[in-house]
Amino acid sequence: MTHRLNPFIVLLAFACAATQVHALTTEEIALLNRPDRQKILEEGARKEGKVVWYTPLIVNQAVRPLKETFEKKYPYIKVDFHRANSRGLVQKWLAENAAKRYEVDVVGGSEVTMLGKKAGLMLRFASPSLRDFPAELKDPQGLWSTTNLYFMTLAYNTRRIRANEAPKSYEDLLNPKWKGRMAWHMGSNTGAPLFIGNIITVMGEKAGTAYLQNLAKQSVISATASARGIVDLVVAGEYDIAINIFNNHAEISKDAGAPVDWQPLEPVPSPMGTTGVAKTAPRPHAAMLFTDFLLSEEGQRVFQRADYLPAHPKVAAQTPALKPGGGRFAKANYFHPEIVMEQSDKWLAVQEKIFGK
């Protein structure tokens, strides 16, 4: 007896088979929002086997602990990283894209992610942990999020200045007794330019410019050392006060017994360390698992133990006072990376005009 197949059943079977073999695009993987998301990412990452990460984070302090914790969680994914400063990472990434050689999956650093966004090299992504992040710490288009924060404060030598004598406000910096005793880093957005940007943002163009002109009369020393290096010079007694340094750098030195402490001037300027996914990520499943990890409470506790300042609102700094609400200060002025990139030339021009090169 010959059995005739129902055409509808045949078409349904073909449709089901097509659905089962449909491979998700990189964009679909990055934006997955369904109950089996974790299962899909893990199954895909097992086949990919590794994730490639470009980062400006310090290797022994943060990169290796993050790599080791992630690989312990997902032993079938190897984290290959390339560490360089932001300019070096951008140059490497752009050169690879120009040669159509797509290596990187996850990129870190505010300058890297912002230039990547400008060049159309970033991928929109969604991560469950982002629900906990306030709007100011993530891109409204979903192209980057913040992994860690920086809070820029004074550092001062405690052998030369007692805690009750240290400047407590921006106006205090204009006290004649500090003339010639203060230094700042001139060569990056986190030194003098960000201080200038914060003053103009807070006080307005007219009042801010007038304040900076008065500060210039204090003969602030322009140092070529990095922000970390200036803290070391304060410890050594080369300068009494450093303006606009990373407060966690001073705290680390203080905990090691060095004669240094930090003092916030509110609102404290706060630049961000960011992360994102490359649009041409060759391993998108692993890229998303790694991004989820970096932004999760688990990953953020690795930043915490490494003496970085976690961005996750539920994860305090190892020394809670280093973040707003921890006891030393309440007000921070968060500087979106786009704003820093757009305004940095203007701030540098103000710096050169008022303070010289």
* CATH at residue 289: 3.40.190.10
Looking at every residue in the chain, the average pLDDT score rounds to 92
User: Quick one: tokens of 187?
Assistant: 């060569």
Note whether 33 and 104 are same-domain residues.
Answer: yes
- What radius of gyration do the chain's Cα atoms show? 24
Query: At residue 342, does pLDDT exceed 70?
Result: yes
- Domain carrying residue 46: 25-149+272-320
pLDDT tens digits along 89-120: 999 999 999 999 999 999 999 999 999 999 99
Q: For residue 1, is it within any domain? A: no
Residue 133 pLDDT = 96
Q: For residue 64, is it within any domain? A: yes
Rounded to an integer, the average pLDDT of 221-237 is 92
Instruction: Evaluate whether 300 touches 312 at the Cβ level (below 8 Å).
Output: yes
- Nearest-angstrom CA–CA distance, 154 and 133: 28
Q: Which of 328, 299, 325 is nearest to 129 (CA)?
A: 299
pLDDT tens digits along 285-322: 999 999 999 999 999 999 999 999 999 999 999 999 99
Q: For residue 202, is it within any domain? A: yes
Instruction: Evaluate whether 314 touches 159 at the Cβ level (below 8 Å).
Output: no
Total count of domains within the chain: 2
Q: Which residues 6+ apart lie within 8 Å of 95 measured at CB? A: none
- Nearest-angstrom CA–CA distance, 68 and 77: 11
Residue 13 pLDDT = 46
User: Quick one: tokens of 270?
Assistant: 């706060």
Note whether 169 and 312 are same-domain residues.
Answer: no
Note whether 227 and 285 are same-domain residues.
Answer: no
Which residue's structure tokens are 């300027």? 269
Query: At residue 82, does pLDDT exceed 90?
Result: yes
Note whether 57 and 131 are same-domain residues.
Answer: yes
Q: For residue 143, is it within any domain? A: yes
Instruction: Evaluate whether 287 touches 277 at the Cβ level (below 8 Å).
Output: yes
Query: At residue 8, does pLDDT exceed 70?
Result: no
Query: At residue 190, does pLDDT exceed 90?
Result: no
43 vs 73, 76, 119, 132, 284, CA distance in Å? 14, 10, 31, 26, 12
Note whether 87 and 132 are same-domain residues.
Answer: yes
Residue 301 pLDDT = 98
- Other Cβ atoms less than 10 A from the Cβ of 173: the count is 20
Q: For residue 111, is it within any domain? A: yes
Note whether 216 and 339 are same-domain residues.
Answer: yes
Note whether 45 and 188 are same-domain residues.
Answer: no
Q: For residue 93, is it within any domain? A: yes
Q: Which of 190, 180, 158, 153 is nearest to 168 (CA)?
A: 153
- Model pTM score: 0.87
Residue 18 pLDDT = 42
Note whether 130 and 174 are same-domain residues.
Answer: no
Note whether 244 and 162 are same-domain residues.
Answer: yes
pLDDT tens digits along 135-144: 999 999 999 9
Bridge partner list, 107: 54, 276
Rounded to an integer, the average pLDDT of 39-59 is 97
Length of the chain: 357
Note whether 106 and 246 are same-domain residues.
Answer: no
Q: Which residues 6+ apart lie within 8 Å of 354 measured at CB? A: 209, 212, 213, 216
Residue 189 pLDDT = 72
Q: Which residues 6+ apart lie within 8 Å of 87 measured at CB? A: 111
DSSP annotation of 25 reads P
Q: For residue 59, is it within any domain? A: yes
Percent of the chain with pLDDT over 70: 93
Q: For residue 340, is it within any domain? A: yes
Note whether 169 and 32 are same-domain residues.
Answer: no
Note whether 134 and 158 are same-domain residues.
Answer: no
